[in-house]
Structure 1
Amino acid sequence: MINLQVRILNLYLERSAACSKASAIQRPSFLLEQSMDPSKFFDAVRSTVFNGKLSQAQVNGMNALLSECDAQTLTPSMTAYVLATAFHETAQTMQPIAEYGKGKGRPYGKPGHNGGQIPYGRGFVQTTGDTNYERTDRELALDGRLITDYDLLLTDIEIAARAAVEGMKEGWYTGKKLSDYFNAKITDYVNARKIINGTDKAALIAGYAKKFFSALAA
């Protein structure tokens, strides 16, 4: 499905660059099920979230996350919060990145017990610490691949997307999970930050999430 979406969104970007309207595009399953038009979604986020410019790399990153949100049957509000978290944690690149400073001065910023690799933050949501890499490997059934090479969270966008979405859904990082803040009774974009990192930048990320949610409904 990812290849299909990339072809669709490549076409969209090409048409946008030529200042022509993308239309009559077959929608991939996630967008169809959420009653979304991909061209409207990307037009909306380009304007409201990305300050008028949207690169192919940013599209590809969102595409990978949307596909995994689809696979995990997340609601639109959950999906919006995943996208907002990735937007913040990747410095707006929407690509898996390494933590700035690579953990220097932090407890996890030194060689760990898996081949001396330094378990600084990597990926869409900045997985840190040997135990979190080990859990991610186990939960994603990677059979030791991630334990052997932490950089898979940088080089394999599908693994990075799975780690981000499944981790947030299941509460791998702090014990808090998406359903704690997005359910039939509440939609709490601010406190949802506790899924990843306490209340750090909670209001800022909540603002991004609301914009992504509006784009999902465009």
Structure 2
Amino acid sequence: MNLTLGYTPLLVESCRKHGLLRNQAAYVLATAYHETAHTMLPVREKGGESYLRKKKYWPYVGMGFVQVTWLTNYKRASKELGVDFVADPKLLLNPEYSAEIAVVGMKEGWFTGKRLADYITLQKSDFRQARRIINILDCADLIAGYALVYDGLLKAAGYD
């Protein structure tokens, strides 16, 4: 993990643009690192076409830095960014769109109703429970560990 891998600089820029605290930005990066299979590139959900077509949320399969799924989330992202992701889901693979969706979606609680500020503030960094922003507690301890590393990297880089 480092701050130059893939589109990490773009994600950091988006975090700054939207006023995220350093520990909140660290959690966004940790989530993206996990959800993109450590590439920091917007990706499509793993699996072949026949496998993905069996998903309840087809054709709105996981895409981007945070694996946006379900029609409701595609509609929300479309409304917020003014881009029709419903008509063309693969637009979620555009790094600029995907970064905005990851940062603003986690900040405002688009995905589960839980927001970064529910778990991460100036007073606390509950990186484990913050997984609820995206996906209950799936891999929560692993991602919390990534967030600690990213918090240190951001601190060393002067992110305040």
Structure 1 length as normaliser, TM-score? 0.67
2:14 matched residue in structure 1: 68
How much has 1:187 moved relative to structure 2?
A: 1.4
Larger Rg: 1
Where structure 2 has 5 or more consecutive residues not aligned to the other structure, the ranges are none
Structure-2 residue corresponding to 1:108: 57
Aligned residues: CA RMSD:
1.6
Can you give the 5+ residue segments of structure 1 that lack an aligned partner in the other structure?
Answer: 1-44, 47-53, 110-117
User: Closer, same or farther in 2 for the Cα pair 1:94/1:194, shift >3 Å?
Assistant: same
Secondary structure of the corresponding residue to residue 138 of structure 1: helix
Relative contact order higher in (CA < 8 Å, ≥ 6 apart)? 2
Picking from 98, 101, 107, the partner of 1:169 is 107
| Residue-by-residue CA offset, 1:90-149 (whole Å, 9 max, x unaligned) | 00010000001263543113xxxxxxxx1100000000011110111001222xx22221
Instruction: Tell me the distance in 2 between the aligned counterparts of 1:195 and 1:97.
Output: 19
Aligned to 2:125: 187
Q: Contact between 2:24 and 2:121, CA under 8 Å: does it hold in 1?
A: no
2:81 and 2:105 mapped to 1: Cα distance? Answer: 10
Task: Report sequence identity in percent.
Answer: 45
Asked if residue 99 in structure 1 is aligned to residue 49 in structure 2, the reply is no
Please state if 1:126 is matched with 2:72. Answer: no
Matched, 1:140 2:81: yes
The amino acid that maps onto 2:25 is T
Aligned length: 153
Provide the C-alpha distance between the structure 2 equivalents of 1:84 and 1:104, rounded to a whole number of angstroms.
28
Residue type matched to 2:133 in 1?
I
Structure 2 distance, partners of 1:191, 1:105, is 30
Q: Report 1:1-218 matches (<5 A).
A: 45-46=1-2, 58-59=5-6, 61-101=7-47, 103-109=52-58, 118-142=59-83, 145-154=84-93, 156-218=94-156
